[in-house]
Amino acid sequence: MLDLDVERIAHGGVAVARHEGRVVFVADAIPGERVRARVTDAGRDRFWRAETLEVLDASPDRRPHVWPEASVDRAPEHRAGGAEFGHVRMPRQRALKGDVLRDTLARMGGVERDVVVEPVDAALAPGVDAEAGTGWRTRVRLHVDDDGSVGPYAARSHRVVPVRSLPLALAELEAIAPLAGTAVGASAVDLVAPSDAPGEVVVRMPGDRRDDAATRTIVERVGERRFTLDRDGFWQVHRGAAATLTRAVQEAIDPARFDPAADNQDLYGGVGLLAAAVGDRFGAGTRITTVEADARATEHAGANLADWIGARALTDRVDRYLDRLAAEADAAARGFAGATVVLDPPRSGAGRAVVERLVALGPAQVVYVACDPVALARDVATFREHGWELESLAAFDLFPNTHHVEAVARLAAIV
């Protein structure tokens, strides 16, 4: 056992303390606290990992955990995972996320920038308890143990733990979740609540594969606009996230640089959410190409973007697509040099190859939507190596009671 004075928060939702000069990453603690912790991984020279067993001197920002089954009162091996900030008051949660984003950008991206993480506008997320950070998840995956027990994984493990509540989920999903039942033979149980239909329980069996011919579609709404997608396809999890990002991308685009006739791009475009955001702001004549590797998502994007004559949806890997564009001698003449690019890569980020290809093509501006501070900072550093700078940054708390944060950045070449 160690008694630790917690110094700061680290990326990933764990806090940082020191013991005899060695860094200790400790879970379920808040900077400023003194905790008693058990070391779980001492096999590294540079740092250890530990779990809080008892809070000796609590932060004024500590509160009873919003998910009792994840509370520090439980033994660490029985704490439900997925709500690692649930013991922290909401304003401090957002401040901690801002600290991580600011520090990561400075350390890895070379950019000093104050960051304020904004809550989701209550008007965009009806039914969500913004003060508690609960009732926002429209999609939840539960796992199934060998004996058929259904529940989340314990924190930092792949062990199913029984729970009686799912406070981060929409109330309608929590009400139908089979927490007291069994699903012998199943691999997982998904809870899904689309905008235009009741919540649904979907039992997954080992070896299940997506069957394009039989895939069920759902409809999600963002304001007055409807988006069709596969029930198993990607959509933002927070009830108000899609609307929040739509507004944020629209506000991030510099209208003085935007040319509706240019070869504007929505890369990693999914079913067309952010391409639609661009079209809605700049009008039906806007040219925009959305590129997505998932063929089913591209099919839906084509239909979802039918309002714009100049919209098209392509199935392709973004890196290969940009390679082909760069190989075309008339790429600049086609309008890419004056284009606005919306970039919404997976958690791993766009990566050096994609960023370098983009800057070589010379768009007017890039609006980068990021769900991981490290990936964003790394890609910002690559942009800066090639003469681009971070011009604006907004951050949103789309995953309350977790360490995750979403950011929307605008980058442009230094003139």
Please indicate if the annotation marks 344 as binding a ligand.
yes
**Residue 325: its pLDDT value, please?**
87
pLDDT recorded at residue 176 = 97
206 catalytic residue (yes or no)? no
The one catalytic residue in 371, 374, 377, 408 is 371
* pLDDT at residue 392, rounded to an integer: 97
Cα–Cα dist 347/407, whole Å: 12
Look at residue 286 in the predicted model and tell me its pLDDT.
95
Tokens, residue 79: 């704490």
Secondary structure E strands in 282-360: 288-292, 311-315, 340-343
Pairwise CA distance, residues 228 & 250, whole Å: 21
Least Cα distance to 67 among 192, 151, 186 occurs for 151
CA distance linking residue 269 with residue 345, whole number of Å: 9
Phi, psi of 45 (to 5 degrees): -75, -35
Q: How far apart are CA 21 and CA 196, in angstroms?
A: 55
Q: What is the pLDDT of residue 340?
A: 97
| In the chain, where the domains are located | 2-62, 94-124+235-413, 139-215
CATH top-level class of 2-62: mainly beta
Tell me: is residue 292 an annotated ligand-binding position.
yes
Model pLDDT, residue 213: 46
> What does the pLDDT read at residue 390?
98
The CA-atom distances, in angstroms, between 198 and each of 170, 214, 218, 252, 356 are: 11, 20, 11, 34, 44
Local mean pLDDT, 10-residue blocks, the chain (415 residues)? 95 94 95 95 82 97 98 95 97 97 96 95 92 96 95 94 97 96 92 94 83 75 96 96 98 97 96 97 95 97 95 97 83 75 96 95 96 97 98 98 98 92
CATH of 94-124+235-413, one of 3.40.50.150, 3.30.70.1350, 3.30.56.10, 2.60.40.10: 3.40.50.150
Contacts of 367 (CB under 8 A, 6+ apart): 249, 252, 253, 340, 341, 342, 343, 408, 409, 410
According to the model, what pLDDT value does residue 1 have? Answer: 87
Other C-beta atoms lying within 10 Å of the C-beta of residue 237: 17
**Residue 236 labeled ligand binder:** yes
Q: Which two tokens stand for residue 72?
A: 């520090």
